Amino acid sequence: MKVAISGAGVAGAAVAHWLYRTGHTPTLIERAPKFRTGGYMIDFWGVGYQVAKRMGIEDRIRTAGYQIERLRSVGSNGEVKADMDVNVLRRIIGDDFTSLPRGDLAAAIYASIEDNVETIFGDGIATIDQDSDGVHLTFEQSPPRDFDLVVGADGLHSNVRRLIFGPDRNFEHYLGCKVAACVVDGYRPRDDLSYVLYNTPGRQVGRFALRGDRTMFLFIFRAEHDDTDESPKAQLRNEFGDAGWECRDILATLDDIDDLYFDVVSQIRMDGWSRGRIALIGDAAGCISLLGGEGTGLAITEAYVLAGELQRADGDHRRAFDAYQALLHPFIESKQAGAARFIGFFAARTRFGLWFRNLALRTMNFGPLATLIAGNVRDDIELPDYGI
């Protein structure tokens, strides 16, 4: 079948990989003028990592990734409040664990298909009309085209979801925070292979040293979900300008940054992930939130299951879509519940909350206590073997 895929990020590239591998003809449609790399740092493990192994891209991911050694919480003068050995997590979930920029994970997947799969950059879907025979798409720039199926892999603010299922407000559940991320050159100090975070009540900024003398910053702060007229940079300066630690120096680097990621922290909750010949995957279908820690792995898993069920159903898209949702919807709901409980780790509301969070980080260095959280990081799902 000819399958249009809106979005060339992790989810889109992954489903294109599996659809091509199972004999279909996928076409990726991406609004950005070129493939995006970089982005905020993610931890990659679990069922998504197992799918990546089946894709044959583990070496690429390992090369792009970082084996983080420490998670360190500091005070306003740089004093260490808590210092956790990340090997504790590896003992819980195994060695199939790495950290890397989200866009670099997408690039590792895309490299496996870029010579075989058509990608339309700098364009988006304008309208979707489906009937019993197929789907007719019009584009913002390109001429209209016909496909057999459409997959919305276009993220939290999915265009395909909006066109087929309705406005974002029907499905978005805001978790009370906003987030920003950027990468700068030449920042000092550097703490290699350590994620350093600083909190005041309701706010967190973290930094991580990347290769090539670059540093990634991640900002999280509690805020109302409103359409303020302030620019993202102005919001960050208002929130962190008087926060202490290195915040003034970090904010000063924003003057030279053009590529600033800025968004709300929300979940997408839907009863159904498909309608007719259109299906959703990744954040478009069931975003657990950026702070959930496993969204990319879940997106890769959804891509594998969707393509596998199409293969198993011999192209009967209705049967395949139903099986895909039946297998993964309860799993995603459980991950969303866990992610919502985790907000306090990033943006504790009170000083007592910060003290308790730091205490929890310190106790994580003791194996027996660390295993108590295993249920929050392990993936209790059996990955199907579709023979693909």
Q: List, in order of start, the domains of the chain with CATH numbers.
A: 2-67+95-172+267-347 (3.50.50.60)
pLDDT at res. 132: 92
Q: How confident is the model at residue 373 (pLDDT cuts 50, 70, 90)?
A: low
- State the pLDDT at residue 376: 53
pLDDT level of residue 372 (50, 70, 90 thresholds): low
What does the pLDDT read at residue 365? 79
CA distances from 258 to 114, 183, 228, 290 (A): 27, 10, 20, 21
What is the C-alpha to C-alpha distance for residues 120 and 137, in angstroms, rounded to an integer?
A: 13
pLDDT at 368: 63
Distance of alpha carbon 160 from alpha carbon 153, whole angstroms: 8
Tokens of 198: 């600083």
pLDDT at 258: 85
User: Is residue 277 a contact partner of residue 164, using CB atoms and an 8 Å limit?
Assistant: no
Buried b (16+ CB within 10 A) or exposed e, 343-364: bebbbbeeeebbeebbeebeeb
> Any idea which residue has 């579709």 for tokens?
386
CA–CA gap between residue 18 and residue 388 (Å, rounded): 8
pLDDT category of residue 339 using cuts at 50, 70 and 90: confident
Per residue in 213-237, pLDDT tens?
999 999 999 998 876 789 999 999 9
Side chain identity, residue 317: H
Q: Stretch 271-300: mean pLDDT, rounded? A: 91
The angle subtended at Cα 261 by Cα 158 and Cα 252, nearest 5°, is: 165
Q: How confident is the model over 305-330, as a mean pLDDT?
A: 96
Distance CA 296, CA 156 (A): 12
The b/e string for 57-90 (b: 16+ C-beta within 10 A; e otherwise) is bbebbeebbbebebbbbbeeeeeebbebebebbe
pLDDT band, very low/low/confident/very high, at 88 (cuts 50, 70, 90): confident
- Calculate mean pLDDT across residues 154-177: 95
Task: Give percent of the chain with pLDDT exceeding 70.
Answer: 96
Q: How many helical (H) and strand (E) elements, i.e. helices and strands, does the chain have?
A: 15, 18
Residue 238 to residue 260: CA distance in whole angstroms: 16
- pLDDT reported for residue 93: 74
Considering the entire predicted model, what is its pTM? 0.91
Report yes or no: 93 and 46 within 8 Å, Cβ to Cβ. Answer: yes
**Cross-strand partners of 208:** 216
Rounded to an integer, the average pLDDT of 314-325 is: 96
Q: For the segment 4-16, what is each residue's pLDDT rounded down to a tens digit?
A: 999 999 999 999 9
* Residue 143 CB burial class (10 angstroms; 0-12, 13-18, ≥19): exposed
**If DSSP codes are grouped into helix, strand and coil, which group holds residue 12?**
helix
Q: SS3 for 127?
A: strand
**Rounded average pLDDT over 273-293:** 91
Q: Which residues make Cβ contacts (< 8 Å) with residue 182, sequence separation at least 6?
A: 216, 217, 253, 254, 257, 259, 260, 261
Q: Report which residue type is found at 199.
A: N
pLDDT at 370: 62
- Residue 37 and residue 103 in contact, taking contact as beta carbons nearer than 8 Å: yes
The answer to whether 298 and 332 are in contact (CB under 8 A) is: yes
Q: How far is CA 90 from the centre of its chain?
A: 21
Beta 149-152 vs 2-6: how paired, if at all?
Answer: parallel
